[in-house]
Amino acid sequence: MNSTASFVKRIRFWWLVFGILRIGQVSAQGEGDIPFGSWRVHLPYADCKHLAETRERILAASENGLFSVGKADGEIRRLSAVDGFSDVGIAYMDYQPDADVLIIGYRNGNIDLVKEDNRIINLPDVLKSSLQGDKAIRHVHFRGNEAIISTGLGILVLDISKEIFTDSYTSIGPGGSTVAVSATAVVNDTLYAAVSGAIICAPYDGTRNLSDYNNWKQVRSGVTCKNMVNWNNTLVCDLNKVMKQYNKGSWTDYYDGKQDSIANVGIYYGKLFVFAVGRIIKDDGSAKSLITVNLINRGIVDREGYVWFVLNTYGLIKKINGNEVSFYPNGPAFKQSYQMASVGRSLYVTGGGTTNTYGNAFNNNGYAIFHENRWINRGANPITDGLYDWTVAYAEPETKRVFIGTHSFGMVFFSGTEPRLRIDSSNSTLRKFAGTIWTRVTGMATDRNGNLWVSNFGSATGLNVLLKTGGWKSYSLLNNNVGQMVIDDYGHKWMLAYNNSGTGPNGPVGLMVYDDNETPDVLSDDRQRFLNNQADNGGLPSSEVSCIATDRYGYIWVGTDQGLAVFTRPDQVFPNNKPVNAERFVIVEGGTTGYLLGTQVINCITVDGGGRKWVGTNNGAYLVAENGLKVLRHFTKDNSPLLSNEIQSIGIMEETGEVFFGSSEGISSWRGDATPAKEVHGKVKVFPNPVKPGFEGSVMIQGLPDDAEVKITDINGNLVYETRANGGTATWNCRKLNGERPASGIYLIFSINRDGSDSYMSKLVFIR
């Protein structure tokens, strides 16, 4: 009898005789969950700076987020690299209605064209240019099939239909120097450009070489101009915040000469609009009228005549019959993330940080919680009011209690998504940093006895413990400037150590290890040791230690600015005089033998439910096999929707296995294939179910025992596929073992835990 038949026969036998095989009602995919292998982006959308119209939608952009709103129905859609956009950090966007083309320019000089068939054409010429300096796209002036683009390095001319640049004028400043251009306009075959402190012009009729600065002349000096348009064959622009009109060599006030904070100027469907703080001037060619608004970042008028504008914290606003309606997608209130922690279907993200020398950054971002596929941002609350530099996010594995620490005034205990208690020097043994008002909480970990240990950076007692039985204890360390903490299988507390003494350079210096011998009340048997990059006393690749993690083997993984190191025998760290060195795993990758991840800067390490390590670097995110001997995945900005290659934090949604990557430009997430598991089956979910025609993803089976053996058979017991779970999750690629797609029908999913004491059977409907 083959192994598959034996496996299935064993399960059916247990089911019939002992009744231990559980058959569950298959749960549907949770609302808002994404399939395995899919991406989504999580960005702040409320602080919008730019907007543009297309035929059916209005687009709005915050610092890094982009979304659209349906003009007819108000439907909101997020837009990102997942949809094919090439970058983040939009600096300008505008729409050419005749060609039905949207131009999006980014801060780094990258350009996307969105065409009428929703194709996104990337034009990276400016981004990849060898010219040094500010490459940001600042303005676009449309002239027929041309887009005249203002940048920090001069002017580009783009042929919209051919999608190629036909000219560039980058040496038009005094003596042929490079100057930044804020805006352009063509009036009567003359190209006007706003540069630093002046407006210059040149003939734009094909008779002159505009790359030669000698063909440009100055028409106004000593002015600042950010907006200009061709209005009825005259130049209208803002000069030192006053709207002026230039015609036949003469400058006049465009309207009453009042100095305004002007957001932008544009011509929309035959009318000129000036968007300024407090008012919008509308000019139909025969008369001017006012539309009242309050603050405004930028505005447009759509084809139907509705005014849309963007504003800090209010997103995209539509003015309807004197009322203002706000639109923006749900998202975190900030782009940067310091740490992440998860419980169930909630992910807690801190948005604060510290200075490079571990001082206060006075960052007021707070925290955000991704709960049931919706972001909940910090609101007004007496428990959290006045706290800043939110840094540490920690969830206890067993109790599911959540604590968030700050670099300012202690830490906060959360019940679900609600803050319940502030813990600081007034109600615990946490103490202030010497000579300051700050109570800095920098690390947390729970031991196997249920005691919560807390790093209290810079106090006289850098290590504290909240006992499971109640009450606090504190301990003085060889170095009380300690940060992130993990606890190994032997009860040793491993903490990042820093120098902040005022002597020598401030920053990371190694690791502190503390052993209380699991007797928190007895100090006489305690031991501690400082480890760094010295031989036989840590042997780390560098003393610049950035992060630490412990895995299912009990290994201690340490990230430094010179790569990864692993303590595979943490039990041997004591006694203090015993030589102990971290190891560097050697792997073969691409035919080359070298250290795992080489000498890359390591920013964070997170262990998934399958024991694999997600490592955040300045070169993207790596998934390392459980044994550390193979790189399984490497995500970068170029091969995934990561928003930046600088990965600062990584969190994993406990229940779903979705991996969140906190980069320097914002958070992206990828639905992974590993979740935490126990020794027996939990609430098993199989999704999608049914599998519908055209589905090209993978079926996920969650709630399995750790490392469960999984076999999929047809209704007659013939083996279709077999695998093992990563932690509590297994995936099926909807292919048979020979790579062919199976026939439509009902399939059985059998799973069994490692010792055979617990098993499960599910049904899956597959429609080819």
Burial of residue 586 (CB within 10 Å: 0-12, 13-18, 19+) is exposed
Q: What mean pLDDT is predicted for residues 258-272? A: 92
Whether residue 685 sits in one domain with residue 667 = no
Q: Domain of 176: which CATH number?
A: 2.130.10.10
How many helices and strands (H and E) does the chain possess? 1, 67
Give all strands (DSSP E) within 312-467, no chain letters.
315-320, 323-327, 339-343, 346-350, 367-371, 374-377, 390-395, 402-406, 411-415, 418-423, 440-446, 452-457, 463-466
Please count the other Cβ atoms lying within 10 Å of the Cβ belonging to residue 287: 7
Is residue 762 a contact partner of residue 692, using CB atoms and an 8 Å limit?
A: no
Which token pair is 84? 């094919």
Q: Of 622, 647, 671, at which residue does a domain stop?
A: 671
The reply to whether 659 and 514 lie within a common domain is yes
The number of folded domains in the chain is 3
Examine residue 407 and state whether it is found in any structural domain, yes or no.
Answer: no
Instruction: Give tens-digit pLDDT for 42-60.
Output: 999 999 999 999 999 999 9
Q: Which two tokens stand for residue 523?
A: 């100090």
CATH number at residue 695: 2.60.40.10
pLDDT on residue 504: 54
Q: How would you classify the pairing of strands 613-617 and 620-624?
A: antiparallel
Flag whether pLDDT at 28 surpasses 80.
no
Examine residue 321 and state whether it is found in any structural domain, yes or no: no
Confidence of residue 260 (pLDDT cuts 50, 70, 90): confident
Same domain, 199 and 78: yes
**pLDDT tens by residue, 136-166:** 999 999 999 999 999 999 999 999 999 999 9
Q: Give the DSSP H/E element, type plus range, for residue 9.
A: helix 3-13
- Judge whether 687 and 38 are in contact, CB under 8 Å: no
pLDDT, tens digit, for every residue of 471-491?
999 999 999 999 999 999 999
The three-class DSSP label of residue 490 is coil
| C-alpha radius of gyration, the chain, whole number | 31
Domain that holds residue 662: 423-671
Residue type for 86, please? S
330 found inside a domain: no
Give yes or no: residues 664 and 681 share one domain: no
Eight-class DSSP state of 691: B
> Residue 398: left (phi > 0), alpha (psi -120 to 50), or beta?
alpha
Check whether residue 693 and residue 762 sit in a common domain. yes
pLDDT at 184: 98
Question: Do 16 and 94 fall within a single domain?
Answer: no
- Rounded to whole angstroms, what are the CA distances from 48 to 28, 604, 666? 36, 30, 15
Q: Is residue 360 part of a domain?
A: no
pLDDT at position 594, please?
95
Q: How far apart are CA 682 and CA 129, in angstroms?
A: 55
> Does 626 lie in the same domain as 706?
no
Lowest mean pLDDT, pick from 122-131, 445-454, 525-534, 608-617: 122-131
Q: What is the pLDDT of residues 205-257, one digit of tens each?
A: 988 999 999 999 999 999 999 999 999 999 999 999 999 999 989 999 998 88
Q: Helices (DSSP H) in 138-263: which residue ranges?
A: none
Distance between CA 181 and CA 193 in Å, rounded? 7
Q: Residue 217: name the closest of 200, 235, 198, 196 by CA.
A: 200
Tell me if 556 is assigned to some domain: yes
Residues 166-207 pLDDT 10s: 999 999 999 999 999 999 999 999 999 999 999 999 999 988
C-alpha span between 150 and 9 (Å, rounded): 72
CA distances from 394 to 23, 404, 408, 515 (A): 35, 6, 17, 21
57 phi and psi, to 5 degrees? -140, 160
Q: Are residues 647 and 714 in the same domain?
A: no
Picking from 103, 178, 96, the residue whose alpha carbon sits closest to that of residue 143 is 96
Cβ of 572: how many Cβ atoms within 10 Å? 13
CB 490 within 8 A of CB 520: no
* pLDDT over 80 (residue 74): yes
DSSP 3-state of 609? coil
Assess if residue 351 is contained within a domain: no
Among residues 671, 693, 717, the one where a domain terminates is 671
Tokens 């469907």 -> residue: 269
With beta carbons less than 8 A apart as the criterion, state whether 4 and 722 touch: yes
Distance of alpha carbon 654 from the chain centroid? 18
From the number of C-beta atoms within 10 Å of its C-beta (0-12, 13-18, 19+), residue 161 rates as: exposed
Residue 710 lies in a domain: yes
55 and 97, same domain (yes or no): yes
Instruction: Tell me, yes or no, whether 190 and 242 share the same domain.
Output: yes
Phi/psi for 252 (5° steps) reads -135, 160
For residue 145, the model assigns a pLDDT of 92
Q: How many Å separate Cα 383 from the centre of its chain?
A: 27
In a domain, 615, yes or no: yes
Strands (E), 479-618: 482-487, 493-499, 507-515, 527-531, 537-538, 545-550, 556-560, 563-567, 580-581, 586-589, 592-595, 602-607, 613-617
Q: If you search the block for the tokens 């033998």, which residue do you land on?
A: 593
Q: Give the tens place of pLDDT for each residue, 691-715.
A: 999 898 999 999 999 999 999 999 9
Co-location of 98 and 179 in the same domain = yes
The Cα 457–Cα 483 span in angstroms is 6
Same domain, 167 and 212: yes
Last residue of a domain, one of 671, 690, 718: 671
Give the CA angle between residues 576, 581, 582 to the nearest 5°.
Answer: 130
pLDDT mean across residues, the chain: 92
